[in-house]
Amino acid sequence: MAKLSPDGHRLAVIRPMNGFEQVMFLDLTTPNSTPYVVGQAGAMANQVIWKDATHAICFFKSNVEVRRSTAIVERRAVFDIVYVKSVDVGAHTEVQLMPGSLQDTDANDPVHIYMKGVHNQIYGLFRVDIVTGNAELLHAMRLDTSYITNGYGAFVGVIHVDRDLTRHVFVDDKDILQIESKGGSDLQLVGLTAGDKLELVEEKPSAFGTKGLYAWTPAAGETTLYENPNFDVDGVLHDERDGRVIGFSYQDDLTHCQFFDPALERVQRSLEKAFPGQSVCVVSHDVAGSAFVVVTDGPKNPPTLSLYTPGNHQVNIIENDYEGLGPDNLGDVKVYNYKARDGLDIHAYLTLPPGRAAQNLPLVVFPHGGPEERDSLEFNWWAQFMATRGYAVFQPNFRGSAGYGTKFIHAGDGEWAGKVQYDVQDGVHKLIADGIADPKRICIVGASYGGYMALAGATFSPDLYACAISYAGVSDLRSIIRLPLFWVSEGISIWKRRIGADKDYDKADDASPAQFAKQVKIPILLLHGDRDTTVAFQQSVTENDALKEAGKQVEFIKLQGDDHYMEFASTRIQLLKEVDRFLAAHIGDKAQQASVTAP
């Protein structure tokens, strides 16, 4: 990630250094100047906000062990780039500012930001002085409250969730909108439109069934910002200084960005012409519009940050995400669509190993996480790693995936051990029928929900695969929807809907791999970060114990000190080495030769 200062003279780049994400500041006015690098011991930089031309707020996060559990800690520091000094935000105040709770950056005020926090057991919105670190309570509210601010420090409204999981949107103390959110709502508020009018921006299903983007006010009603009969809105683009919604992205096979401002949209379109076949998006620019930071990405083009200056029509590379990797040494990726057994169209991708014919190849089935996510024609570091080791890699967007409309998402509800599995199986059978995959050398590999899919594949399709690898996969579904005594969160209600336990609670057990470990016939590799706050480390412990008790072949590797997202370079290296070793042993060319020559 990179952000330009408002005057365009300096650039802040978040990049890995010594195994940790740190912030590197570059002076663009002085060629070959020494970068100013800042970091926090044991923490990862994950956000930068320019408050003015010389001061930037850097946010760092780390996972720490607290009373035998893991908690996310956020640190914030304001850096003066000219005088090379910093101030820790919130370090000398009794207010506990909550991680990830930045509400407003106050674009016109160089001194203040607005965050959620707690003081003397009072939760609320706090006005934080980034010079002194002091915080002033502005609005006291419940912990599950969200605030609507205008990007310039003005409190506009509040979103409150009641015990029935209905979101109430209050503006001027009037309950102007109610959103039923039990099980997850198809309508989401994603910000305010740019300009003087206070219009809420809604993401919700269009008349086509795909997700569209709309501006809404109680008085004027709804205005369409974007809708497409074929593709969902993938996300919204926010102004980097006031947070207003200035555009959106959508995916067909590539990711496309589109801006409402005509001048910014012209820049976006000209850059797309310069990088055909890749996803291109403007992610930062100076106030004058004389310099733009651009991210480009393609299936054989790792993400690249560049600086575009329209004045001389130059695009200069700032940072390559994977230096040395490119089209010459990566696998070809192609669309591989098919129909599931009930006639549903499934969109998928196939990465072929470089230098090998698409015939009788060892195959890695690589389902995505989420489940309400999707794969696309983007660079995938894990898939390309496996492809360069000689494996074809198959990535199906099974029912329940995002991007194809709400009906497609909800088609996966309650079908984790049923039709979702069939969608994957049917793609594998087509690859075998087409002569691409060797039916005796197929391994299913996944992370997070994809890790669940790997365990479910090994459990509910025991004769299809030769091995399975699960990184941070869920194995015991009942444990993730276990109800608190007095409160059911929206998050739990969403997982119940996805699993189908909102209608039949036994679905949680019926689709849990750990409950059916005796059905497994293949070796399984489990990997999990011991400070994972997204999928509990205990999920892999439970699966490991169940497989061992059933007498199955299982390896369990604890990734020490890391979280769900493999923040540390050392963790990713360790994971890839273990994946490489395990695949080679079970479906690699040497494993095939050994099976052929065995007496």
Low-confidence ranges of the chain (pLDDT < 50): 485
- Domain boundary residue, one of 511, 534, 554: 511
Say yes or no: 364 and 441 in one domain.
yes
CATH number of the domain to which 545 belongs: 3.40.50.1820
The per-residue pLDDT for 541 is 97
The per-residue pLDDT for 485 is 46
- Domain boundary residue, one of 39, 66, 88: 88
Q: How far apart are CA 91 and CA 424, in angstroms?
A: 50
Say yes or no: 402 and 472 in one domain.
yes
Say yes or no: 52 and 69 in one domain.
yes
- Domain limits at 80? 1-88
Say yes or no: 455 and 537 in one domain.
yes
Q: How far apart are CA 296 and CA 273, in angstroms?
A: 12
DSSP code of 490? H
CB of 308 closer than 8 Å to CB of 295 = no
- Whether residue 11 lies inside any domain: the answer is yes
Q: How far apart are CA 90 and CA 98, in angstroms?
A: 10
Say yes or no: 444 and 495 in one domain.
no
User: What are the φ/ψ torsions at residue 20 (nearest 5 degrees)?
Assistant: -130, 145
Say yes or no: 435 and 485 in one domain.
no
The per-residue pLDDT for 99 is 81
- Domain boundary residue, one of 88, 122, 140: 88
CB of 428 closer than 8 Å to CB of 437 = yes
Say yes or no: 441 and 418 in one domain.
yes
The pair of structure tokens assigned to 11 is 């650039």
The pair of structure tokens assigned to 329 is 């040494």
- Whether residue 544 lies inside any domain: the answer is yes
Q: How far apart are CA 450 and CA 237, in angstroms?
A: 27
**3-class secondary structure per residue, 278-293:** CEEEEEEECCCCCCEE
CB of 256 closer than 8 Å to CB of 250 = yes
- Whether residue 110 lies inside any domain: the answer is no
The pair of structure tokens assigned to 170 is 């209050």
The per-residue pLDDT for 447 is 96
- Whether residue 408 lies inside any domain: the answer is yes
- Whether residue 49 lies inside any domain: the answer is yes
- Whether residue 250 lies inside any domain: the answer is no
The per-residue pLDDT for 71 is 62
* 361 Cβ contact list (under 8 Å, min separation 6): 352, 353, 390, 391, 392, 436, 437, 438, 441
Say yes or no: 390 and 484 in one domain.
no
Say yes or no: 492 and 377 in one domain.
no
Say yes or no: 32 and 42 in one domain.
yes
Say yes or no: 364 and 491 in one domain.
no
CB of 135 closer than 8 Å to CB of 127 = yes
- Whether residue 551 lies inside any domain: the answer is yes
The per-residue pLDDT for 331 is 96
- Whether residue 302 lies inside any domain: the answer is no
Q: How many other CB atoms are found less than 10 A from the CB of residue 30?
A: 9
Say yes or no: 560 and 487 in one domain.
no
Q: How far apart are CA 102 and CA 190, in angstroms?
A: 15
Q: How far apart are CA 541 and CA 474, in angstroms?
A: 10
